[in-house]
Amino acid sequence: MTTASVDERPDERALAAHFTARVAAEQRIEPRDWMPEGYRRTLVRQVAQHAHSEIIGMQPEGDWIASAPSLRRKSILLAKVQDEAGHGLYLYAAAETLGVDRADLTERLIGGRQKYSSIFNYPATGFADVGVIGWLVDGAAICNQVPLCRSSYGPYARAMVRICKEESFHQRQGYELLLRMMAGTPEQRAMVQDAVDRWWWPSLMMFGPPDAESPNTRQSMEWRVKRHTNDELRQRFVDMTVPQAERLGVTLPDPALRWNEERGHYDFGEPDWAEFRRVLSGDGPCNAERIRRRRAAHEDGAWVREAAAAYAAKRSAGETR
């Protein structure tokens, strides 16, 4: 290599300045563009965690497909759970554009080295849970994810556009199921209220720890990977959900919940952050079960991956011949 070509290579500082200017101008960063190592690492962590959450998130509701109360409910739920598999697929593909390998990410998940959303460590104990998960869990996911459609990383932002469209169907099917149940028998209404009581606080925890305890937020916002803080999104979710709960006729299990005229927002109580940390560290009601099943599914699918790889090798050998 000649000295001239070394001199022509832009130095790291110039590349970083160019990157910062592009992000500030709301331009997308694409896989071939230079990016700071910290930005790449943050995105790998966030996108992988998001992908894992979609796949693990199939479990609590997937259990109810076989015992759905009608053909209509079964086909809706089947479509929803399949969508979540698709979301996982788009997101693993987005993560791979950052130079990581999907098989390796799966190994990290089942080896307990990467996390997924704490919400999926709670059990779905009745069919009303399917409705409440759609309403609250997919509703919280929408609050989190709509701003990610403007994430600075192109492949992630584009995956989110499609995912958000499907999440809004998920939220609606859940709410519609609950409306039907609330118009039913006293037992059905009690099932809905019981599910709301169990899922409300874990849903608020989906936005992550309070801003004061979220050290990565500031950097992620500067990089425009994240657009709003955890507490802002949590507030937005509460403001959106309270009128829906009133319309449904359920009580949200928070005595501190009331409209604050001055702030123009609902005040609400503090989630149990000790429980959040416990569930996140692996000690929730279903953590072991979720990973055990994910690992078993991965092992059961080994022959499919091997067959697909053998077929691909055969085809490419045929093409080059």
Number of residues that bind Fe ion (CB under 5 A): 6
Choice between 53 and 230, CB closer to Fe ion = 53
Rounded least distance, CB 307 to Fe ion, Å: 28
Smallest distance from Fe ion to CB 303, Å: 27
CB of 41 to Fe ion, least distance (A): 24
Q: Which is nearer to Fe ion, 170 or 198 (CB)?
A: 170
Instruction: Supply the Cα-derived Rg of the chain in whole angstroms.
Output: 22
User: Per residue in 72-89, is it b (16+ CB within 10 Å) or e — as a string?
Assistant: ebeebbeebbebbeebbe
Distance (Å, whole) CA 221 – CA 81 = 31
Long-range CB contact pairs, 190-193, < 8 A, 24+: 191/126, 191/127, 191/128, 192/128, 192/131, 192/132, 192/248, 192/250, 193/250, 193/251
28-67 residues in contact with Fe ion (CB under 5 A) are 54
Residue (84 or 254) nearer to Fe ion, CB? 84
Binding mask 150-169 for Fe ion (x = CB under 5 A): -----------------x--
Which CB, 35 or 88, lies closer to Fe ion?
Answer: 88
- Figure out which of the listed residues 50, 52, 170, 234 binds Fe ion, where binding follows CB under 5 A: 170
Q: Which of 50, 52, 73, 87 binds Fe ion (CB under 5 A)?
A: 87
Alpha-carbon distance 165 to 20, whole Å? 30
Q: Angle 287-300/302-320 helices, nearest 10 degrees?
A: 40
Among 61, 129, 138, 254, binds Fe ion (CB under 5 A): 138
Q: Which of residues 197-216 bind Fe ion (CB under 5 A)?
A: none
CB of 310 to Fe ion, least distance (A): 31
Applying CB under 5 A, among 42, 60, 62, 84 the residue interacting with Fe ion is 84
Beta-carbon count within 10 A of 183 CB: 10
Q: Which stretch binds Fe ion (CB under 5 A): 64-72, 82-90, 194-202, 267-275?
A: 82-90
Residue appearing with tokens 């209509």 = 72
- Residue reference for tokens 């499919």: 304
For residue 153, the cross-strand partners are: 29
Q: Is 271 left (phi over 0), alpha (psi -120 to 50) or beta?
A: beta
- Between 139 and 284, whose beta carbon lies closer to Fe ion? 139
The residue among 163 and 225 lying less far from Fe ion, judged by its C-beta, is: 163
Q: How far is the CB of 11 from Fe ion (least distance, A)?
A: 41
Positions that interact with Fe ion (CB under 5 A): 54, 84, 87, 138, 167, 170
